């Protein structure tokens, strides 16, 4: 019997259809028994005799994959593959797929939520009101300001469409350009990342994590930003140097930040949790009912297609 391990805790939480799809194929389905992100030892043990895995952010590096001698399919529950050693998977002939487009709107919505919350200091105001402090705080406007997008894939484009409702000017940087979309939405491409950092009032990251992008926002980049800048990251932990982020926010060198993803979750630097100009998310930008259902359906469908394709080829 084909064995498939499913690690995401939200898989089939609202609709059983993603799970039922797998069971109708006659697969043995093993769900995450830990109720949290697994360690390398834990996931390595579960997939040691598995044919396929639907994985969230649990580690699938070379050390783990070497233990999974039968594994032929990795179906990502989401789109980021930085937790997967895709080079080694390719070397081993393991098919890797992603749930493209499943959570685009959810992440774009949350990006704007963080942007607004940081600019308007919503959490600070909420906390003070609960203390019966009705002092009014003067905060930042979002409307008519300049939004800088680093990365103009599906999510970056979705954020740009939302920004139109706020009459924002948009400047973007990406190594792959879509001139037709940019022209239709009034977006100006920058030649360098530095141009975005110096110009934008709001900077939103929508890039994959790799050796080229790791810590792309560090002390030098923070020094380029306006003192009223707001930085938002709903992409991947590791894009921002978190020590530099802490130092910058502690010194109030920029207005604030909204961060949903960290290199270690919860953040290894506990001092970040004490900053009132940082809005923190629990890697939950994609956690809406529709996005969870979509990710489950697409991940299951991708796994089935890969498994059945391999079996047919044999």
Catalytic annotation, residues: 236, 265, 283
Tokens of 70: 């039968």
Residue 267 dihedral angles phi and psi, to the nearest 5°:
-55, 140
* CA R_g for the chain: 21
Tokens of 40: 């390398």
CA distances from 87 to 81, 94, 266, 296 (A): 11, 10, 28, 25
CA distance 166 to 275: 28
DSSP strands (E only) in 9-129: 28-31, 52-55, 73-76, 95-97
CA distance 176 to 165: 25
| Coil, helix or strand at residue 258 | strand
CA-wise closest residue to 3 among 53, 44, 42: 53
Let me know how long the chain is. 314
Sequence-distant (6+) residues with CB within 8 A of 209 are 80, 82, 235, 236, 237, 238, 239
Tokens of 150: 């680093």
């Amino acid at each position: 019997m084909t064995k498939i391990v499913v690690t995401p805790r939200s898989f089939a939480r609202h609709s059983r259809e993603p799970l039922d799809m797998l069971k109708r194929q006659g697969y043995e389905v093993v769900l995450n028994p830990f109720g949290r992100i697994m360690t390398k030892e834990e996931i390595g043990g579960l997939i040691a005799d598995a044919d396929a895995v639907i994985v969230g952010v649990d580690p699938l590096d070379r050390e783990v994959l070497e233990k999974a001698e039968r594994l032929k399919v990795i179906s990502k529950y989401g789109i980021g593959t930085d937790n997967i050693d895709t080079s080694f998977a390719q070397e081993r002939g393991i098919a890797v797929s992603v749930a493209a487009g499943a959570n685009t709107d959810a992440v774009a919505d949350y990006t704007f939520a963080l942007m607004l919350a940081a600019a308007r200091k919503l959490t600070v105001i909420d906390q003070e009101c609960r203390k019966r402090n009705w002092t009014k705080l003067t905060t930042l406007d979002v409307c008519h300001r300049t939004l800088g997008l680093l990365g103009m894939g599906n999510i970056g484009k979705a954020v740009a469409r939302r920004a139109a409702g706020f009459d924002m000017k948009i400047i973007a940087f990406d190594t792959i350009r879509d001139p037709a979309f940019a022209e239709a939405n009034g977006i100006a491409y920058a030649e360098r990342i530095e141009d975005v950092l110096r110009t934008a009032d709001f900077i939103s990251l929508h890039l994959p994590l790799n050796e080229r992008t790791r810590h792309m926002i560090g002390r030098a980049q923070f020094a380029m930003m306006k003192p009223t800048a707001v930085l938002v990251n709903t992409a991947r932990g590791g894009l921002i140097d978190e020590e530099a982020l802490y130092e910058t926010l502690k010194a109030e060198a920029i207005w604030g930040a909204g961060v949903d993803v960290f290199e270690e979750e919860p953040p290894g630097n506990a001092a970040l949790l004490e900053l009132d100009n940082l809005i923190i998310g629990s890697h939950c930008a994609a956690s809406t009912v529709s996005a969870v259902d979509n990710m489950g359906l697409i991940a299951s469908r991708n796994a089935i297609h890969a498994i059945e394709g391999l079996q047919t080829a044999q």
